[in-house]
A and B are shown apart, each in its own frame.
Chain A
Amino acid sequence: MPLDGDPRMLELEELRSLCAAETERFFRHQDSDARYCYEVFRRAIVAHDQSAWECIYTQYQALVLSWIHRHGLSTVLSEEPGYLANRAFERLWVGVSSNKFANFPDLKSILRYLQMCVNAVLVDAARSRTRASLVEDEALERSASHSSEQRSMEDSVLRKTQAEQLWSLLEERCKDYKERCILVGMFVNALKARQLYAEYPGLFQDIQEVYRVKENLLARLQRDQELAAYLERL
Chain B
Amino acid sequence: MGNNTMDNIERKLRATLYRAFCPDSTELGEYHLGLLSTDRRRELRAHLAECPHCTNELEALRSFMDSVSADLAPNPQKGQESETLLKRLVARLLPSSFPGTGWSPALAGVRGEVGSMLSFNAEGYHLVIDIQQDADRPDRRSIMGLLTGAEPTSAPLIARLYQASSLAAQSQVDELGNFAIHRVAPGEYSLRLSNIEIEIDIEQLIIA
Q: List the interface of chain A (C-beta within 8 A of B).
A: 1, 3, 23, 26-27, 31-35, 37-38, 63, 66-67, 70-72, 91, 95, 103, 106-108, 111-113, 115-117, 119-121, 123-124, 127, 131, 134-137, 156, 159-160, 162-164, 166-167, 170, 183-184, 186-191, 199-203, 218-219, 221-222, 228-229, 231-232, 234
Measured in the bound complex, the distance between the Cα atoms of B76 and A203 in whole Å is 53
Contact count A vs B, C-beta below 8 Å = 168
| A106 / chain B contacts, CB cutoff of 8 Å | 73, 75-76
| Closest B residue, CB atoms, query A100 | B35
Decide if A159 touches B78 in the complex (CB within 8 Å).
no
Interface SS of chain A: helix
Decide if B33 touches A231 in the complex (CB within 8 Å).
no
Decide if B68 touches A70 in the complex (CB within 8 Å).
yes
Told that A124-B25, A135-B18, A167-B21 touch, could you supply 12 new A-B pairs with CB distance under 8 A? A3-B78, A95-B26, A106-B73, A116-B32, A120-B25, A123-B28, A123-B57, A163-B17, A163-B21, A167-B20, A189-B52, A231-B8
Binds A, one of B58-66, B86-94, B111-119: B58-66
B interface, how many residues as a size bin?
A: 35 or more
Decide if A112 touches B33 in the complex (CB within 8 Å).
yes
Interface SS of chain B: helix
B81 to chain A, nearest CB (A): 8
B3 within 8 A of A: yes
Decide if A135 touches B76 in the complex (CB within 8 Å).
no
- Assuming the contacts A107-B76, A222-B9, asked whether A199 and B52 have C-beta atoms less than 8 A apart, the reply is yes
| A37 / chain B contacts, CB cutoff of 8 Å | 73
| B6 / chain A contacts, CB cutoff of 8 Å | 218-219, 222
Decide if B4 touches A228 in the complex (CB within 8 Å).
yes
- Assuming the contacts A23-B73, A67-B68, asked whether A218 and B25 have C-beta atoms less than 8 A apart, the reply is no
| A232 / chain B contacts, CB cutoff of 8 Å | 1, 3-4
Partner of A35, one of B10, B24, B76, B137: B76
| B57 / chain A contacts, CB cutoff of 8 Å | 123
| B67 / chain A contacts, CB cutoff of 8 Å | 70
Query: Which residues B1-57 have CB closer than 8 A to chain A?
Result: 1, 3-6, 8-21, 24-26, 28-30, 32-33, 35, 50-53, 57
Decide if A119 touches B20 in the complex (CB within 8 Å).
no
